[in-house]
């Protein structure tokens, strides 16, 4: 299943507008905070799909019938661009375990590139709910490779893939190539165009550079 949150107007749409805006995104602190708020909205939406159980809570005046989350998810992100969204999701899942994956594009002179994975820090994922976030889903290949790397740490019972901006090509690639059909894709917006250099248009630019500064 694919959810596109921009299909319905909400304050989420304002956050998306600001991360795209070429003038507003010059403020790195604001860009990071908007990405964090986007992560918070995704966390709230995903929380509706999780399992809860009845509980009783003692108040100053009596006992209230309440519910509590049965199991906290594992929140995973692709370094470095995914960190602000990761912390936004983590703001809503207080006791969640965390996973971090280093993935980047190694570009070649002929304008092609390959996805390199160099670092995975992850808890046991067997029978866990995983939220895997990356702000941009361009070709989709890095997301699929990242998920395959996580499978070495166990097989999740369900995976929520979260991205602020996706290309339609990236969405189609993930649907076709994920090694496990038991996943849900959450997108802030889906753009139609992907350039020959695999940049989303209109997109927003390089999310990692906008959040943390340019790199060599």
The answer on pLDDT for 216 being more than 80 is no
Q: Which of 136, 147, 148 is closest to 105 using CA atoms?
A: 136
Is residue 171 a contact partner of residue 2, using CB atoms and an 8 Å limit? yes
Q: How far apart are CA 105 and CA 117, in angstroms?
A: 9
Q: Which residue has the higher pLDDT, 22 or 116?
A: 22
Which range has the top average pLDDT, 108-112, 116-120, 178-182? Answer: 178-182
Could you name the CATH architecture of 2-212? 3-Layer(aba) Sandwich (3.40)
How many CA atoms, within 13 angstroms, populate the side-chain half-sphere of residue 104? 14
């Amino acid at each position: 299943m694919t959810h596109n949150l921009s299909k319905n107007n909400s304050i989420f749409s304002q956050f998306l507008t600001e991360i795209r805006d070429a003038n507003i995104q010059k403020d790195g602190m604001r860009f990071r905070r908007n990405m964090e708020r986007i992560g918070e909205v995704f966390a709230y939406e995903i929380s509706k799909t999780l399992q809860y159980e009845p509980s009783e809570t003692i108040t100053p005046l009596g006992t209230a019938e309440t519910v509590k989350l049965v199991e906290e998810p594992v929140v995973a992100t692709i370094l470095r661009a995914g960190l602000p969204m990761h912390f936004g999701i983590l703001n809503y899942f207080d006791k969640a375990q965390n996973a971090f994956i280093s993935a980047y594009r190694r570009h070649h002179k002929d304008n092609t590139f390959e996805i390199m994975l160099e670092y995975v820090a992850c808890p046991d994922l067997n029978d866990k709910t995983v939220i895997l976030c990356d702000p941009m889903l361009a070709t989709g290949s890095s997301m699929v490779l990242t998920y395959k790397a996580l499978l070495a740490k166990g097989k999740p019972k369900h995976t929520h893939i979260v991205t602020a901006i996706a290309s339609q090509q990236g969405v189609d690639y993930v649907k076709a190539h994920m090694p496990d059909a038991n996943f849900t894709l959450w997108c802030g917006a889906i753009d139609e165009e992907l350039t020959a250099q695999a940049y989303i248009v209109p997109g927003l630019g390089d999310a990692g550079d906008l959040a943390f500064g340019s790199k060599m």
